[in-house]
Amino acid sequence: MELTVLSDGHFMKEALREAQRAFEKDEVPVGAVITCKNRIIARAHNLTETLNDVTAHAEMQAITAAADFIGGKYLKDCTLYVTLEPCVMCAGALQWSQVGKVVFGAWDEKRGCSTVGQLYHPKTIVKGGVLETECGDLLRAFFQKKRKL
């Protein structure tokens, strides 16, 4: 059987579907999926308002769910796809998880972890700007809607 290796864009679209779910719940629209061997093992979206909990970022929930799926806390063979650049908290969690790769969509010039420095695990591969426009457009639409209210 031939294995089709799916692209980063493919999985980012799945993260975007999660972000859309956050948008529909009136949450800042950020979504994430975690893959292992070309397969999605965790998906989540921002729930900070719904849960009244600043720690309920998409990435944090996805890390917890992926570790639960794997049955171990290290995600060395996994890739996290997230529609917005991770913040300091999420980058710190990703460092502990030793995640293999982080792929994000839009850059976060205010709260993105790269504004602070290199916070990921030294072995983690990081790639930003995948479907940047689509990911950013959803965020811009959300904040525009908020300002109109």
- Residues 47-65: b if buried by 16+ CB within 10 A, e if exposed: bbeeeeeeebbbbbbbbeb
Q: Is 87 in the site for a copy of itself (CB under 8 A)?
A: yes
**Beta-ladder partners of 104:** 82
Gap between the Cα atoms of 39 and 37, Å rounded: 6
How many residues belong to the site for a copy of itself (CB under 8 A)?
28
Of the pair 69, 107, the CB lying nearest a copy of itself is at 69
Per-residue mark of binding to a copy of itself, 45-64 (x: CB under 8 A): ---xx--xxxx----x--xx
Q: For residue 80, what are its two tokens?
A: 């996290």
Among 97, 126, 130, 138, binds a copy of itself (CB under 8 A): 97
- Name the site residues for a copy of itself (rule: CB under 8 A): 48-49, 52-55, 60, 63-64, 67-68, 71-74, 87-93, 95-97, 116-117, 119
